[in-house]
């Protein structure tokens, strides 16, 4: 069951190629023409069934997800069924088959309508706590369960070498100090590790009329519970999120982990990883440079450093 790589750890860079795979999947499944709705690590398209066109005014009710997974994409479908069986609210697959073309895989998922209500972070915390209680052996065979130390964006030495030519001395000093301060972040007792979602933040939560649904399980991993607390611990101060997000999440998850040395290390080093990845992106993509500079300002120690943007 254990794998060294996350389910998805490589970004689909070619949107046109992804679109052609989505078109083939839609044709195979008898869906309408896919419409691009999001491009991140994966490329996400909305489509609809014939019944939606005739009886529901054409509402998008199928999401086609094109990705480059490290294992067969059917694992994501099996994982969704397993999580649902453990009482975790997830998006259900609309089909059990996968369309594959030259390393890209398309899967189909039910459309989940957002309610428009603010995210209930206490409820999200309770969901994550439920995830942490799942015995790793209950997950489907073949689903990757790496240590997050295997994630390539946590290889700080390599990333620093990659971006060194464009880092100024002050930013480099601030980032290096954080990495050195948090040395040993990945040295934990295996008995302290649990099943983790791996990337809990507002972009991976859909608030519905029935409560929150946690999406994007690409970074499922085995780590201490604080791994799932860390993203939200800096959400308000560094990412400009609403005040109280982490406090509500922590209450639902069984208690705040602020002050826990390992969790604080996870939180700070996530900021390092986010910065280095954006700086690396900016070296090839001019559109990423503004956000890259915004993040570097923080590491230079500027007390007026602006909040970061996820885009």
pLDDT by residue, tens only, the chain of 311 residues: 445 899 999 999 999 999 999 999 999 999 999 999 999 999 999 999 866 544 444 456 999 999 999 999 999 999 999 999 999 999 999 999 999 999 999 999 999 999 999 999 999 999 999 999 999 999 999 999 999 999 999 999 999 999 999 999 999 999 999 999 999 999 999 999 999 999 999 999 999 999 999 999 999 999 999 999 999 999 999 999 999 999 999 999 999 999 999 999 999 999 999 999 999 999 999 999 999 999 999 999 999 999 999 86
Residue 149 confidence (pLDDT): 94
Stretch(es) of the chain classified as CATH 3.90.1200.10? 121-299
Residue 50 confidence (pLDDT): 66
> What is the bridge-based pairing of β-strands 205-208 and 99-101?
unpaired
Stretch(es) of the chain classified as CATH 3.30.200? 15-110
- Per-residue pLDDT tens over the stretch 96-155: 999 999 999 999 999 999 999 999 999 999 999 999 999 999 999 999 999 999 999 999
pTM of the complete model: 0.94
Class (C level, CATH) for 15-110: alpha beta
End-to-end CA distance of the chain: 34
Q: Other CB atoms closer than 10 Å to residue 153's CB: what's the count?
A: 16
Q: Other CB atoms closer than 10 Å to residue 307's CB: what's the count?
A: 12
Question: 121-299: what fold?
Answer: Aminoglycoside 3'-phosphotransferase; Chain: A, domain 2 (3.90.1200)
> What is the bridge-based pairing of β-strands 43-47 and 62-67?
antiparallel
Residue 105 confidence (pLDDT): 98
* Residue 64 vs residues 8, 74, 287, 296: alpha-carbon distances, Å: 16, 14, 27, 35
Residue 102 confidence (pLDDT): 93
Q: How far apart are CA 84 and CA 64, in angstroms?
A: 20
């Amino acid at each position: 069951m254990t794998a060294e790589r996350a389910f998805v750890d490589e970004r689909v860079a070619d949107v046109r190629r992804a679109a052609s795979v989505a078109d083939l999947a839609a044709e195979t499944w008898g869906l309408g023409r896919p419409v691009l709705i999001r491009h991140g690590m994966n490329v996400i398209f909305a489509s609809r069934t014939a019944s939606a066109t005739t009886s529901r005014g054409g509402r998008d009710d199928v999401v086609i997800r094109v990705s480059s997974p490290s294992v067969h994409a059917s694992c994501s479908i099996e994982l969704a069924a397993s999580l649902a069986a453990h009482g975790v609210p997830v998006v259900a697959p609309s089909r059990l088959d996968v369309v594959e073309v030259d390393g890209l895989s398309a899967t189909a998922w039910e459309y989940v309508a957002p309610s428009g209500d603010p995210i209930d972070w206490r409820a999200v915390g309770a969901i994550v706590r439920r995830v942490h209680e799942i015995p790793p052996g209950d997950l489907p065979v073949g689903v990757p369960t790496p240590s997050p130390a295997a994630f390539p964006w946590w290889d700080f030495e390599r990333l620093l070498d990659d971006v060194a030519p464009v880092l100024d001395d002050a930013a480099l000093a601030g980032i290096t100090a954080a990495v050195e301060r948090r040395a040993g972040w990945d040295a934990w007792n295996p008995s302290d590790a649990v099943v983790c979602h791996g990337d809990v933040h507002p972009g991976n939560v859909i608030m519905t009329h029935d409560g929150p649904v946690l999406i994007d399980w690409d970074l499922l991993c085995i780590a201490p519970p604080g791994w799932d607390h860390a993203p939200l611990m800096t959400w308000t101060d560094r990412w400009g999120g609403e005040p109280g997000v982490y406090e509500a999440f922590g209450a639902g998850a069984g208690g705040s982990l602020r002050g826990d040395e390992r969790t604080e290390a996870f939180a700070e080093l996530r900021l390092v990883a986010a910065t280095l990845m954006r700086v690396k992106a900016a070296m090839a993509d001019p559109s990423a440079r503004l956000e890259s500079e915004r993040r570097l300002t923080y590491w230079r120690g500027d007390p007026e450093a602006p909040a970061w943007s996820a885009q």
